[in-house]
A = this chain, B = another copy of it.
């Protein structure tokens, strides 16, 4: 079945906000076995919205709109959809009550404007919006489905997960199961070469996604029942893991911070960091996992000679640069390890201070008191997200050090 996404809102055409909704929905549709051929963005304009609705209705089976459901006069999605379908909107009392309750439970009075959010057309079933006042519409007519959703991403995503996805799944009648393998260290084109025997497969399908923490591989299978789909995915996962070996570091919602944390917990080890180039980025990434205080004790950020001296680091960035080596990062790892009585210390240093981004070489050192692993990465100064890449590099080297 063919799906189409319409994003509605003049603010999108002014570049005032990025359209994260369409990427979210686009990523969900393959999980339902729906093919997406078109995404269109249009302003809050009756004539142009009617035109895109007409075209979508002609060429697609499932049409999903986001935006234009607010209480203001500028929000016209409901009105225009009703006009397009030739149906009349009426207030649904239960919806009016729910919207009033949304306000009164927050100690507020409902502005009169919001009453238009309680309106539906006869062929629309309302879908509740737990996080806002704009219900969605689920419209079925002429063997087509039109899904009308609000624009705020957190409202839209919750409604997608709770209401839209189950309804679409039920309508499609197949069971779809999906699993994501997370990899690091291989580029997307190399990955495509390795996976080429499987990329053409129709069931299960494979899709690769290049992310900051590596290339993700999503395996998706359809089956008449869940057990069948799960088994197909498991078989394909085993085949892919045999090809990729330790490039695969996690699945589904794993973060590399979680993976490192689990390794540290399993081995009963603690960690401390000292950073200049990334200036706190590694500490932040390590701290995010729930319960991180069990293994990530804390860290030091040095952004000046004064701070280096205060924490007892003798090597200067200048001598580090002169000696072309890892000695600064190595001393930082050793110093913070002792300072916090941690099992493992990690040091990250550029050849210059944090604020000056022109150093291409970033030195990273991991030290457990008995052995040490030091390495250098090259991040050209024009590279966006160079600091983030350095943080990921340190985390992936930590994973290897612990494995």
Copies per assembly: 2
Does A354 lie within 8 Å of B292, measured CB to CB?
yes
In whole angstroms, what is the CA distance A61 to B353 when docked? Answer: 49
How close is A113's CB to chain B, nearest CB, in angstroms? 12
Q: Is the CB of A353 within 8 A of B279?
A: no
Name the residue among A42, A281, A340 with the largest chain B CB count within 10 angstroms. Answer: A340
- Shortest A312–chain B CB gap in Å is 11
Looking at A23-31, A140-148, A224-232, A321-329, the stretch in contact with chain B turns out to be A23-31
Q: Give the contacting residue for A306; candidates B17, B38, B291, B340; CB below 8 A.
A: B340
A 1-37 contacts with B by CB, 8 A: 12-20, 22-30, 36-37
A39-B40, A41-B38 known; A208-B16 Cβ under 8 A: yes
Q: Is A173 an interface residue (CB 8 A)?
A: no
Q: Number of A residues whose C-beta is below 8 Å from B?
A: 76
How far apart are the CA atoms of A292 and B24 in the complex, in Å?
A: 37
Return the CB mask of A257-293 against B: 1 if under 8 Å, else 0: 0000000000000101101001111111011111111
- Chain B, residue nearest A5 (CB): B41
Query: What is the bound-complex CA distance between A310 and B345, given in angstroms?
Result: 15
Contacting pair B38 A40 (CB below 8 A): yes
A29 shortest CB reach to chain B, Å: 8
Chain B positions within 8 Å of A354 at CB level: 287-288, 292-293
Name A158-213 residues within 8 Å CB distance of B: 207-210
- Across the two chains, which residue of chain B brings its CB closest to A356? B290
Say yes or no: A280 contacts B284, CB within 8 Å.
yes
Measured between beta carbons, the chain B residues less than 8 angstroms from A384 are 154
A18 touches B14 (CB 8 A): no
A284-B280, A304-B293 as given contacts; A15 in contact with B37, CB under 8 Å: no
A30 to B10 CA separation, bound complex (whole angstroms): 13
Chain A 65-100 interface residues, beta-carbon cutoff 8 Å to B: none
Q: Contacts A14-B27, A39-B13 known; A301 to B303 CB distance under 8 Å?
A: no
Chain B residue contacts of A357, Cβ below 8 A? 290
B303 touches A300 (CB 8 A): no
The closest CB in chain B to the CB of A7 belongs to B39
Q: Which residues of B contact A30 (CB under 8 A)?
A: 14-15
Considering the complex, give the chain B residue whose CB is closest to the CB of A306. Answer: B297
Query: How far, in whole Å, are A273 and B284 apart by their CA atoms in the complex?
Result: 14
Residue of B nearest to A342 (CB): B306
In angstroms, Cα B279 to Cα A284, docked, is 5
Instruction: Report whether A291 and B26 are in contact in the complex, using a CB–CB cutoff of 8 Å.
Output: no
Complex alpha-carbon distance, A63 and B297, angstroms: 54
- Kindly state whether residue A339 has any CB partner on chain B within 8 Å: yes
Which residue of the partner chain, among B28, B29, B37, B272, contacts A307 with CB atoms under 8 Å?
B272
Extra A-B contacts (15), CB below 8 Å, given A154-B384, A287-B303: A12-B23, A13-B36, A15-B25, A16-B209, A16-B210, A19-B22, A37-B45, A38-B48, A273-B301, A275-B280, A281-B284, A298-B301, A298-B304, A298-B307, A310-B339
